[in-house]
Every structure is written in structure tokens, then in C-alpha cells.
């Protein structure tokens, strides 16, 4: 095959796209359409809680148009990292939406669900076999960390997705998958070399990001043996060498070495050339197969329960002494919490001060406050939700009513925008597993289930 | 002396996984990029100083193909953990904007 065509509808399933883009894109005769369902980017909560960071209504709208288009064109529709985090509840929720759409639209197709959530027993087996290794600054993985985790997913490569295509699935819902894998799979399976196939996947994973103006929409990639062409279907957008180069740097620690489950994509010698005023040709990428096939693990553990409150001050006397005020506030809360039976060891309180260093915290180089108002988000993480709620309630009252030198605003120091003022955020999760494992093959961690919808 | 914000077309930050943040500076004009690169001002030591991290913890890579510089460093707090201020890591680029680049000739 000399050209394999792929259409990605958006950056994330549920972020939306122009219906007209998909109509135009389908006339360019893609061999496959799809969308990435998620990422770790929205933080650890969604993986832990088993919820999506996108709304069901919006996901259903995006999916409905895609399923209708794919069935009409008799091409596969592939969703990567289903449900935002790609765990079992995320996968099942996405499958339920697909079945619902099929019923409503009278569609029928063979669907594959590729599971990515990992059981503690499986992972402990890998630990015992000595095939796990830490990433970033994590400690080596141990059985206790695995058992403590709320949920752990493995990040699949293209192989299980290609196998589902081999088995005749037209709609494929993958659990957690490497972002480009859902695109590399069909392109490599069609006979294109891995280097342009993986690079195309990197361009497709975020929809219209490699375009200007950049916002969630379709992107269309042509994969050829030694290069790829990137072009957005929507006539209001253009792919330019700068937009493509910008996106080539996206969310990776290195701009030249991109580690994937079965190898490494090297972009050192890439060339970005405009082939029209709205399409860019990318060539020069290389692919080096890895000696050992590795799968990344992502897991979170429960770190407590969170409650927050939001307020702001417009008082110049208070703003001029805000650091002292917050320090006094902290010690007052400790005393009052201890009085109702909550020792300081049972909670953590963090006050973010917007207008000072609320965005960059310890990295903020500006020391002088120039704002006439300051905003505060008070976060309390407690051992239980009751503890978090009680401490945040006390923190709210104390922020409002505490005295300070030179105080004129004797009725209250803070403006609270909401009633209720305290917001319960529920369980709080933190990333606890960020490791790689070397399975015996690319499939054993990712069982595939087929059904006729 | 021009600052990054005067001459770069893109200056941005984002997570590279939950434990790292990556900061990119891109130039549309490859000639200007090469001039900036030749000054040697952008390097791992600069990022270490701006962000208060050890130089050994900064992965700094000029990327000629994209006329870009990339620096990746450990986040202060992992994404979404207690005290994190920027779950997506999308607003950590500002200290770079005011870095002065001693160019002999001002960009066109």
C-alpha cells in the first residue's frame, strides 16, 4: 500500500468538533477514523474514582457522528484510552454509550473491548519475576504498593488493537493505550513502515492541535512509505510548519526520542515542509525496535478526602500583611481543630493565594504583590471526609472573622462568592504507580472481548 | 536587548507525565533560532536557576528541525497531589518570557 489515510475527530472524545469537518474528511476517503479518549493529564482523580473527565452527553454526541460515518463508509472506528483513564469502569461506560447509540440509530457491528486494567495478582507475579522497573523518581515497585493502589492500568501498544482488527472488529474500544497506538496499529497492519505510522499517530492523537487556529476539531493524515501529510478537513484551519513543529514537542520530555511499547521513534532528522498553504509534509523520522517489549503502568492510591473553600479580599490593610495573616490563620486552625479532636497529623491544609503566587507557588519569581485584590483557595485533605469538612469549615470562619493589626473591616475580611461556601471534593488520589513492566508478549496484559452490537 | 517574549513565536509549558513539566520555546524563523542558539543563553543551567532545581535534573534539548528549545524538569508537586497549583502544568512558562537574549542584530 502506498497511502493509508486516517481521520481523528478531536483531541479527546467529548471535547467536540465541527460536524462539517467530519463530512468533508469522509469525502477524503479515510481507511479508519477514531479519537483518543483520554490521558493522565487531568490528574489522578479520574483513574482512582473510575469516572471520566468528559461529560457523557458530549461523548455521546461525538461518538454518534463517528459511528454513523464509520458504518456508512464500512471502515473501522477506534477509540483509544476509553472513558478518560482507560480502566475497567471507563471502558464499560464507553461501551454502554456505544450500545445505546447503536440501538437509537439501528446500527449493527462487531465490537471489540480491549481491557487494560491490571489485577494486583498479575502485577505481583511480574514483580516476583523481576520484570518491573520504576520511571521518573519512583521507587521500585513492590507488592504492598500494588495492593494499596485503587486502580492500575497498563498502557497497551498497537498489537492488541491490530489483533482486534484481524478478528473483524469494526468498532474497537481500547482501555488505556499509548496515544499513537490506535493509529500506528491500522497503518502498520496495512503494510506501512512503523516510523511514519507512529509519527502519524503522534499527529492524530490530539485532533486539530497541529493546526491554526488550534482548537478541538478533526485532523487528517496520509501515511506514505517515507513521509506523512497532515491537513485539517475544516477549511477555517491550516496546518503550517510552525503548528506541526509546535505539536511535535507536545507532552514529551524529549523532542527527539519518543519511547513507545515496542521501540523508539526518533525525530532528530525530521523535515517539516509546507506542501500547500494548509498541508504539511513530514519526513525523516526513524524507528528503532526495542530489545525488550515494555508496557507502562499507571496507578493511583487514595491519599485522603478533600474539601475546599474559595474567597477573596479587597482590603488593602489585610493585603499589606497577608503572609503574617495566613501564618496566624494556620496556627489558629491547628488549635481549633485540636479542640474538636482532630490533631494536626490528621489533615493537611494548603492555602493558594491568587494575585500573589497561586499559579506558580514556589516557582514564582515575583515577590511584590501589585494586585488590589487577592483570591484564596483553601484546600484541606483529611483522613476522613468528616475531618476535611470540619477543618475547612473552621478555616472558612477564621479567614472571614479573624482580627489583624489595623483592621477597619470589622464585619468580615473575605468575600465568599458561594453559598454553600465549602465544597466537598470526595476521595483524593495520588499517582503511586508509574513503572514499566516487560510482559512475555504484547497481548497477555490486554484481553480482548468481542460482541455483536 | 530583546527578551524571549519579543522574539519567540511560542513559549509554553505542559506536563510530560505526572511528575515532570516540559517547557518549549519555538521560533518561526530558523535563522533567528540559530542566532539565539549561538548566544548559548538558553541551556540547562538557565532553567535550573529560573526554577530552582538542580542542573542535573534538567533535560535540555535544542531541536533544530523545529527551530525549538525544550527543557524538561521535575514538578514541585506531582500533578493533582496535595498543594499542586497546576494539574496540567500549562502555566509555568512565565519566568522564561523575560530572559534577555544578546543578539547582535535585532530580528526583522
Taking residues A334-341, report their average pLDDT.
97
Taking residues A354-365, report their average pLDDT.
96
Cβ-defined contact of B85 to A255 (cutoff 8 Å): no
Give the three-state DSSP class for A257.
Answer: strand
Query: Domain residues for B89?
Result: 4-96
Q: Is residue B30 part of a domain?
A: yes
**A16-46: burial string, b at 16+ Cβ within 10 Å, e else:** bbbeebbebbbeeebbbbbbbbbbbbbbbbb
Q: Are A270 and B67 in contact (CB under 8 A)?
A: no
pLDDT of residue A96: 98
pLDDT of residue B41: 97
Q: Is residue B26 part of a domain?
A: yes
Taking contacts as CB-CB distances below 8 angstroms, the residues of chain A near B17 are: 40, 135-136, 253, 434
Q: Is A327's pLDDT higher than 90?
A: yes
Q: Are A156 and A114 in contact (CB under 8 A)?
A: yes
Q: Is residue B85 part of a domain?
A: yes
Mutate one of B8, B13, B18, B67 to test the A interface: name it (highest A CB count within 10 A). Answer: B18
Residue whose C-alpha is closest to residue A412's, from A331, A310, A313? A313
Q: Is B89's pLDDT higher than 90?
A: yes
Element (H, E) at A162: helix A158-166
Angle, alpha carbons B57-A265-A79 (nearest 5°): 105
Cell 514538578, located at residue: B75
- Shortest Cα–Cα distance, A431 to chain B (Å): 8
The verdict on B10 touching A (C-beta cutoff 8 Å) is: yes
Taking contacts as CB-CB distances below 8 angstroms, the residues of chain A near B72 are: 253-254
Q: Is residue B107 part of a domain?
A: no
Q: Is A294's pLDDT higher than 60?
A: yes
Band of residue A251 on the pLDDT scale cut at 50, 70, 90: confident
Q: How many percent of chain A have pLDDT more than 90?
A: 95
pLDDT tens column, A148-186: 999 999 999 999 999 999 999 999 999 999 999 999 999
Residue A27 C-alpha cell reads as 469525502
Taking contacts as CB-CB distances below 8 angstroms, the residues of chain B near A359 are: 85-86, 91
Q: Is residue B102 part of a domain?
A: no
Considering only CB atoms, B88 lies closest to which of A41, A135, A360, namely A41
**Distance separating alpha carbons of residues A392 and A329, to the nearest angstrom:** 12
Cβ-defined contact of A137 to B19 (cutoff 8 Å): yes
Q: Is A57's pLDDT higher than 60?
A: yes
Q: Is A250's pLDDT higher than 90?
A: no
Taking contacts as CB-CB distances below 8 angstroms, the residues of chain A near B18 are: 40, 43-44, 136, 431, 434
pLDDT tens column, A18-54: 999 999 999 999 999 999 999 889 999 999 999 999 9
Band of residue A411 on the pLDDT scale cut at 50, 70, 90: very high
- Shortest Cα–Cα distance, A422 to chain B (Å): 17
Taking residues B48-63, report their average pLDDT.
95
Band of residue A14 on the pLDDT scale cut at 50, 70, 90: very high
DSSP-assigned beta bridge partners for residue B73: B21
pLDDT of residue B105: 63
Q: Is residue B104 part of a domain?
A: no
pLDDT of residue A370: 93
The verdict on A211 touching B (C-beta cutoff 8 Å) is: no
Taking contacts as CB-CB distances below 8 angstroms, the residues of chain A near B88 are: 41-42
Taking residues A231-252, report their average pLDDT.
91
Element (H, E) at A273: strand A271-274
Among chain B residues, CA nearest to A352:
B85
Q: Is B104's pLDDT higher than 80?
A: no
**Distance separating alpha carbons of residues A240 and A281, to the nearest angstrom:** 10
Q: Is residue B59 part of a domain?
A: yes
- DSSP secondary-structure letter at A278? S
**A394-415: burial string, b at 16+ Cβ within 10 Å, e else:** bbbebbbebebeeeeeeeebbe
Residues 6+ apart with CB under 8 A from A302: A48, A150, A427, A428, A429
Residue B83 C-alpha cell reads as 498543594
- Shortest Cα–Cα distance, B104 to chain A (Å): 25
ipTM: 0.93
pLDDT of residue A291: 94
Cβ-defined contact of A303 to B95 (cutoff 8 Å): no
Residue B97 C-alpha cell reads as 518570557
Band of residue B108 on the pLDDT scale cut at 50, 70, 90: low
**Distance separating alpha carbons of residues A340 and A278, to the nearest angstrom:** 65
Cell 516487560, located at residue: A438
Q: Give how many domains chain B has, as a whole number.
A: 1
Using omega within 30 degrees of 0 as the cis cutoff, is the peptide bond preceding A281 cis? no
Band of residue A439 on the pLDDT scale cut at 50, 70, 90: very high
Residue A296 C-alpha cell reads as 507502562
The verdict on B104 touching A (C-beta cutoff 8 Å) is: no
Q: Is residue B108 part of a domain?
A: no
Mean pLDDT in chain A? 96
Cβ-defined contact of B85 to A352 (cutoff 8 Å): yes
Taking residues A52-78, report their average pLDDT.
97
Element (H, E) at A70: helix A56-73
Amino acid at each position: 500500500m502506498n497511502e493509508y489515510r486516517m481521520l481523528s475527530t478531536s483531541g479527546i472524545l467529548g471535547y467536540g468538533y465541527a460536524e462539517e469537518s467530519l463530512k468533508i474528511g469522509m469525502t477524503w476517503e479515510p481507511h479508519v477514523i477514531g479519537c483518543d479518549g483520554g490521558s493522565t493529564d487531568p490528574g489522578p482523580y479520574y483513574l482512582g474514582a473510575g469516572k471520566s473527565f468528559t461529560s457523557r452527553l458530549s461523548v455521546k454526541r461525538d461518538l454518534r457522528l463517528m459511528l454513523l460515518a464509520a458504518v456508512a463508509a464500512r471502515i473501522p472506528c477506534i477509540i483509544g484510552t476509553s472513558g478518560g483513564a482507560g480502566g475497567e469502569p471507563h471502558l464499560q461506560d464507553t461501551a454502554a454509550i456505544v450500545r445505546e447509540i447503536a440501538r437509537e440509530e439501528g446500527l449493527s457491528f462487531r465490537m471489540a473491548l480491549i481491557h487494560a486494567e491490571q489485577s494486583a495478582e498479575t502485577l505481583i507475579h511480574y514483580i516476583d519475576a523481576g520484570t518491573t522497573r520504576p520511571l521518573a523518581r519512583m521507587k521500585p515497585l513492590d507488592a504492598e504498593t500494588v495492593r494499596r493502589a485503587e486502580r492500575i492500568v497498563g498502557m497497551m501498544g498497537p498489537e492488541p488493537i491490530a489483533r482486534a482488527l484481524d478478528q473483524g472488529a469494526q468498532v474497537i474500544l481500547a482501555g488505556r493505550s499509548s496515544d499513537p497506538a490506535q493509529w500506528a496499529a491500522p497503518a502498520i497492519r496495512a503494510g506501512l513502515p512503523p516510523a511514519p505510522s507512529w509519527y502519524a499517530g503522534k499527529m492524530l492523537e490530539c485532533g486539530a492541535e497541529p493546526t491554526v487556529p488550534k482548537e478541538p476539531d478533526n485532523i487528517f493524515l496520509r501515511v506514505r512509505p517515507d513521509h506523512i501529510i497532515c491537513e485539517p478537513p475544516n477549511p477555517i484551519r491550516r496546518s503550517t510548519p510552525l503548528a506541526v513543529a509546535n505539536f511535535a514537542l507536545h507532552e514529551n520530555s524529549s523532542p527527539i526520542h519518543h519511547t513507545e511499547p515496542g521501540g523508539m521513534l526518533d525525530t532528530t532528522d525530521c523535515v517539516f515542509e509546507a506542501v500547500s498553504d494548509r498541508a504539511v509534509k513530514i519526513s525523516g523520522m526513524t524507528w528503532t525496535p526495542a530489545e525488550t517489549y515494555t508496557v507502562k503502568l499507571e496507578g493511583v492510591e487514595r491519599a485522603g478526602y478533600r474539601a475546599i473553600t474559595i474567597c477573596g479580599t479587597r482590603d488593602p490593610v489585610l493585603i499589606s500583611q497577608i503572609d503574617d495573616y495566613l501564618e496566624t490563620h494556620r496556627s489558629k486552625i491547628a488549635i481549633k481543630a485540636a479542640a474538636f479532636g482532630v490533631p494536626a497529623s490528621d489533615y493537611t491544609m494548603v492555602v493558594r493565594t491568587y494575585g500573589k503566587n497561586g499559579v506558580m507557588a514556589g516557582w514564582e519569581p515575583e515577590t511584590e504583590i501589585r494586585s488590589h485584590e487577592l483570591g484564596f483557595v483553601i484546600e484541606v485533605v483529611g483522613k476522613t471526609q468528616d475531618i476535611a469538612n470540619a477543618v475547612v469549615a473552621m478555616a472558612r470562619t477564621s479567614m472571614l472573622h479573624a482580627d489583624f493589626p489595623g483592621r477597619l473591616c470589622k464585619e468580615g475580611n473575605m468575600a465568599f462568592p458561594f453559598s454553600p461556601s465549602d465544597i466537598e471534593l470526595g476521595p483524593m488520589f495520588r499517582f503511586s504507580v508509574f513503572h514499566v513492566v516487560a510482559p512475555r508478549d504484547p497481548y497477555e496484559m490486554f484481553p480482548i472481548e468481542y460482541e455483536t452490537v | 536587548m530583546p527578551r524571549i517574549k519579543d522574539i519567540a513565536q511560542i513559549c509554553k509549558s505542559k506536563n510530560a507525565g505526572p511528575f515532570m513539566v516540559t517547557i518549549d520555546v519555538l521560533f518561526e524563523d530558523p535563522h533567528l533560532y540559530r542566532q539565539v542558539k549561538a548566544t548559548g543563553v538558553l541551556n540547562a543551567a538557565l532553567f535550573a536557576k529560573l526554577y530552582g532545581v538542580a542542573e542535573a535534573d534538567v533535560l535540555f534539548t535544542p531541536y533544530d528541525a523545529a527551530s525549538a528549545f525544550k527543557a524538561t524538569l521535575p514538578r514541585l508537586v506531582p500533578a493533582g497531589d496535595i498543594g499542586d497549583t497546576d494539574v496540567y502544568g500549562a502555566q509555568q512558562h512565565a519566568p522564561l518570557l523575560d530572559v534577555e537574549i544578546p543578539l547582535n542584530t535585532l530580528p526583522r
